[in-house]
Amino acid sequence: MIEAFLSGASEVLQPLTLLLMLGGSIAGIVAAAIPGFTVTMAIVLTLPLTFSMPPLQGLAVMLSVYVGGYTGGLVSAALLGIPGTPSSVATTFDAFPMARGGEPGRALSIGIWASFFGTLLSTAVLLIAAPPLALIAVRLGPWEYFALIVFALTIVASLVGASLLRGLIAGALGLALATVGPDPMMGRPRFDFGIDALAPGLPFLVVLIGVFAISQLVSEVEDARAVRKGVALATEDIRFETWKVMREVLSRPLNLLRSSTVGVLVGALPGAGGSIANLLAYDQAKRASSTPEAFGTGVPDGIVASEAGNSATAGGGLIPLIALGIPGSAVDAILMASLMVHGIQVGPRLIMEQPELVYGMFVSMVVASVLMLAVCLSSMRVFLKVTEIPKWAIVPAVMVCCTVGSFALNNRLSDLYVLGFVGLAGYVLKSLDYPLAPLVLGVILGPIAETNLRRSLMTDPDWSAFLTRPVSALFLVAAVVSVVYSVVRHRRAVAARAGPRREPG
């Protein structure tokens, strides 16, 4: 084992490999920082460039893009309030208010350090627990997946903001939007009303960009006088306190550990991934906090949870890939394809037949996270320049980036019409104080829930199987507890807010 580890490490630590990894890290960060461009797209674009490289070198470069990409989404989430990737939705909840509150440097630094530690922790777990965790993950059937998704949907109850009903409506709207287009089992068209733009369904990323990016960008220009004066996104002096922030992140070991564990576990489940992990980790951190009401106002714990959670899915996703040859996400499937291009069969025998490759991948993950940290910390000043650009210059430019990102997903013009309508609907909902995060969660989880519900009933039409299978029952009980807990807490918070107002009268 040690020999294989050293052999893999020596290959990864070659100067040329490190240089290429640095390029990959920068590419991943920049791509993910642009709304509409995902980690998956960055990796797809990198894949052909790695064909001429030795297998481990190619993988190391792609892993750098992967790790960099999970952090890059943080930049636009913190500075513009727009999640650069679906995995940074929860980052906007606290990083953006913190940045708007005059501390953009702190918000970015906390996210970067949390991402770094999240990746390191997930790599450690990957090293130790890959085979047993992968075995557990593949034993879960559609009943367990459906129950898990029901549990994940209950997060809606804690993301609702001021009104529980409006939050639930937003979540249900997300589920409803996900039903447009071909049904996920038989491909029958649904609710397209003969409109071409609706026939393929509403692409999740276009909905995400419309709901978060377009509505946020347009609301930036509400104050016409300030916009024409040339007001920038952040007006205060920007301070960097890198090491102080590192200590601040490390002073939250429980949050880091819990969020990274959520990330690893969600990453290890095929089909889940960073887009769910960041919300789940945020939700868990909020529930565990003694001041949950402060979440959403710019607290460090919220940023740490989201960024550690999404970055840890990178290591988690490699668990089923390495141990069983099952890609957990689109990115893992591309990594697998790159190995297959080199004639390497991924599966349980990989770690026995090519241990230096597998250990090399582990070392690559660590090196990639160090490179990501170095790139982010050294280029933070450049990223932060974004906040100094006047709104009149940045708003149209980012809207064009959103358009390009939406088009480049499927090369479909009709996706752009969807973007326009969803952007407008997102702005209206935002103006009426409907929370947008539950809507996005509904769109992500809807198809997974429907597929697994129908698959489980196809296998066994008995509904009681959801309660008789222990893991499924456990998730469902957890879902009920989660809802009850959230409702009780929400009522208490409403009563506490109403209390001081009533006193004077």
Partner 1 sequence: MSVPAAESARETHRVGTELARLVASVAIGLAAAFLFVDAGSLPDSRWEPLGAGSFPRLVFALLVLLAVLDATSIVRRLRAGPPLDRGALAALPRRWIVERHLVIAIFVAFGVYLALVGRLGFSVATLGFMLVAGLSLAPRTPRAWFVVVTLALAFSFGLNALFANVFDVFLPRARG
> Which residues of the chain form contacts with partner 1 (CB under 8 A)?
45, 165-166, 168-169, 172-173, 175-176, 179, 183, 185-186, 188, 190-191, 214, 218-219, 221-222, 224, 227-230, 390-393, 395-397, 399-401, 403-404, 407-408, 411, 413, 416-417, 419-420, 423-424, 427-429, 431-434, 446, 449-450, 453-454, 457-458, 461
Q: Where are the beta strands (DSSP E) in 49-142?
A: none
Least Å from the CB of residue 336 to partner 1: 23
Angle between helices 15-33 and 55-80 (to 10 degrees): 30
Of 352 and 400, CB closest to partner 1: 400
Side-chain half-sphere CA neighbours of 45 within 13 A: 16
Residue 390 sits at φ, ψ, to 5 deg, of -60, 150
Beta-ladder partners of 390: 232
Count of H-run helices and E-run strands, the chain: 23, 0
Cα separation, 438 vs 156, in Å, equals 5
Least Å from the CB of residue 241 to partner 1: 32
Residue 232 sits at φ, ψ, to 5 deg, of -90, 175
Structure tokens at 277: 């992990």
Cα separation, 367 vs 164, in Å, equals 44
Residue 310: closest CA among 38, 30, 100: 38
Residue 126: closest CA among 265, 249, 20, 240: 265
Least Å from the CB of residue 55 to partner 1: 24
Of 187 and 470, CB closest to partner 1: 187
Of 180 and 331, CB closest to partner 1: 180
Least Å from the CB of residue 74 to partner 1: 23
- How many C-beta neighbours within 10 Å does residue 287 have? 15
Side-chain half-sphere CA neighbours of 354 within 13 A: 17
Of 133 and 436, CB closest to partner 1: 436
Structure tokens at 448: 């997974």
Of 242 and 403, CB closest to partner 1: 403
Cα separation, 501 vs 357, in Å, equals 64
Least Å from the CB of residue 69 to partner 1: 15
Least Å from the CB of residue 369 to partner 1: 26
Of 59 and 409, CB closest to partner 1: 409
Least Å from the CB of residue 404 to partner 1: 6
Of 431 and 468, CB closest to partner 1: 431
Contact 439, 208 (CB under 8 A): no
Of 349 and 385, CB closest to partner 1: 385
Residue 151: closest CA among 284, 274, 288: 284
Cα separation, 167 vs 156, in Å, equals 7
Of 411 and 464, CB closest to partner 1: 411
Cα separation, 105 vs 308, in Å, equals 18
Of 178 and 268, CB closest to partner 1: 178
Of 417 and 485, CB closest to partner 1: 417
The residues near 392 (Cβ < 8 Å, ≥ 6 apart) are 221, 227, 228, 230
Report helix, strand or coil for 126: helix
Cα separation, 390 vs 227, in Å, equals 8
Cα separation, 471 vs 144, in Å, equals 6
Least Å from the CB of residue 181 to partner 1: 11
Report helix, strand or coil for 232: strand
